[in-house]
A = this chain, B = another copy of it.
Amino acid sequence: MMDGHSNNPALDGEEGVARKRLPPAERRQQIVDEAVRFFAEVGLEGNTRELARRLGVTQSLIFNYFGTKEELIEAVYEKVYIGRLSPDWPERLTDRSHPLRDRLIAFYSEYSSLIFEREWMRIFMFSGLAGASLNQRYLEHLGNVILLPLLAETKALARSDRAPKMEDVWNLHGGIVYIGIRQHIYRMPEPSTPQDEIERAIEKYLQYFGIEP
């Protein structure tokens, strides 16, 4: 040690921010917030020392708030997954006083604005690859609460010779989500008019089942 760096990362940077005490709840949240950014960038195997450095705090402090790194990751999951699926969507998606087309556009506009976000996209993918149960539960929930009702709505309007299947809804969904995957996982450029692409995907879906404006 003593090689030009103090043990307190806050004292190393340009601005010499001295030790600062925060209310535990606030500090905890600060750690989780930064952990979301950090893990989204480098993956869940990112190490706690680097995370502490970014926080301007010692590594051991992290373990004052989380017993293990696994616990911290759980908190990150929680923070990121929570509120991503608004509970009033099932209702709005099945409100037949509006055209299905409008409901779909409203939903996917809102939903895409929530999920086409680097942190969410990447942590979702990292947790999926890691086999996190929260990930599986999320998708199950999405299927039951959003896509299944959507299938019912489609069935109610589809022309009689073409029976909608759950896989068709997944295909609509996947095609739209893939926009975000390309952008945030593969780091390809954002489409110039993502909103437009979503509407086209929906149009394509509805037209396939003979549901016209």
Contacts and interface: CB of A to CB of B under 8 A. Distances in A.
Q: Which of A129, A136, A167 has the most CB of B within 10 A?
A: A129
B197 A203 contact: no
A1 to B, nearest CB: 27
SS class, residues of chain A in contact with chain B: helix
A113 B186 CA distance: 22
Given A171-B178, A175-B171, A175-B175, A186 B136 contact: yes
Contact of A122 (B129, B188, B201, B204): B129
A63 interface: no
Given A129-B125, A207-B207, A170 B185 contact: no
A187 interface: yes
Contacts of A172: 175
A131 B188 CA distance: 11
Interface string A162-198: 0001011011111111110110011110010000110
